């Protein structure tokens, strides 16, 4: 029965979401010379010292771990942009545009490439604030949802993932209860229709 089965709803753990996020591209500045790397997901390189290049986050972090590059923090992770986003989040009901994987990317960078981010404390607290404000917004949105269509733009992967199990089940339950109600309503609408059909010809007759 809807809303009661545990295994039916497919769930991601946060670690899996993080794994997906590691495919996002970031810009790095390597300090080594290396031929291009050919992967299934694409070719990256060749790498020259001090020449910036785009690579997937996992590769960037692997190189960073070995001290072979510095990671350039993405555009949206600047203090100005984050302050603006935070203000936007507080003022409006809509979600501001942020990368789909902003929670995961920011956490990975804070953990493993702190020295590459200017003002890391400030940036970090801004990101945390944004995340809190947004999650609060998600909860207030969840309060007023029903079985009708749900449109929330710009939700991030992690935010969706947190409420995935809950909202999936709740929607199923809502849907089921709405359907229960719809049955008597149908009878009523069917009763009404013949009357309307009778009304229409009369209205049409009047102007003539």
Partner 1 sequence: MGDYYDIDDILAEEDFVPVQFHKAVNGVKIDESSERGFVEQDSKAELPFWLARGLHLQQAISIKVPACFNRNTRLEIEADAGSVDLRSRCSYFYEFGCKVAPYCDKSIGLLVSYAFKARYKEVLYKAHTKAFAAASKIMTFLTKEETNLYEAAQSSMAAFRKWRMGGPRLQRASILGRKRKPAE
Name the site residues for partner 1 (rule: CB under 8 A): 1-6, 9, 11, 13-15, 18, 107, 111, 139, 142-143, 146, 158, 161-166, 169-170, 173-174, 176-178, 180-181, 183-184
Q: How far is the CB of 142 from partner 1 (least distance, A)?
A: 6
> For residue 45, what is the enclosing H or E element?
none
Taking the complex as a whole, the smallest distance from the CB of residue 37 to partner 1 amounts, in Å, to 23
User: How far is residue 94's CA from residue 58's CA, in Å, rounded to a whole number?
Assistant: 31
By beta-carbon proximity to partner 1, the closer residue of 143 and 191 is 143
- For the bound state, the minimum distance from the C-beta of residue 61 to partner 1, rounded and expressed in Å, comes to 11
Contact 64, 113 (CB under 8 A): yes
Letter string b/e over residues 117-147, b meaning 16 or more CB atoms within 10 A of that residue's CB = beebeebbebbebbbebbbebbeebeeeeee
Q: Which is nearer to partner 1, 47 or 95 (CB)?
A: 95
Strand partners, 43: 38
Q: Is 93 within 8 Å of 137 (Cβ atoms)?
A: yes
Q: Give 48 or 135: the residue with its C-beta nearer to partner 1.
A: 135
Shortest approach of partner 1 to residue 43 CB, angstroms?
28
Smaller CB separation from partner 1, 35 or 143: 143
Q: Which is nearer to partner 1, 34 or 173 (CB)?
A: 173
CB 113 within 8 A of CB 69: no
Please state the closest distance from residue 33 (CB atom) to partner 1, in A: 30
Fill in the DSSP letter of residue 47: B
């Amino acid at each position: 029965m809807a809303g009661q089965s545990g295994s039916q709803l497919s769930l991601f753990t946060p670690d899996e979401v993080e794994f997906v996020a590691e495919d996002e591209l970031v810009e790095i500045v390597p300090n080594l010379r290396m031929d291009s790397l050919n992967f299934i997901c694409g070719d990256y390189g060749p790498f020259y010292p001090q020449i910036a290049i785009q690579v997937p986050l996992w590769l960037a972090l692997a190189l960073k771990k070995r001290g072979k590059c510095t990671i350039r923090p993405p555009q949206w992770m600047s203090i100005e942009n984050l302050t603006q986003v935070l203000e936007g989040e507080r003022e409006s009901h809509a979600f501001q545009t942020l990368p789909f994987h902003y929670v995961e990317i920011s956490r990975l960078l804070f953990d493993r490439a702190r020295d590459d981010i200017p003002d890391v404390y400030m940036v970090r607290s801004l990101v945390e604030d944004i995340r809190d404000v947004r999650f609060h917004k998600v909860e207030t949105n969840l309060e007023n949802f029903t079985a009708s269509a749900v449109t929330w733009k710009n939700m991030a992967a992690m935010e969706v993932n947190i409420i995935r199990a809950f909202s999936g089940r709740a929607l199923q339950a809502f849907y089921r209860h709405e359907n229960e109600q719809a049955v008597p309503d149908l009878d009523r609408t069917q009763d009404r229709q013949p009357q309307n059909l009778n009304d229409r010809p009369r209205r049409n007759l009047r102007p003539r």
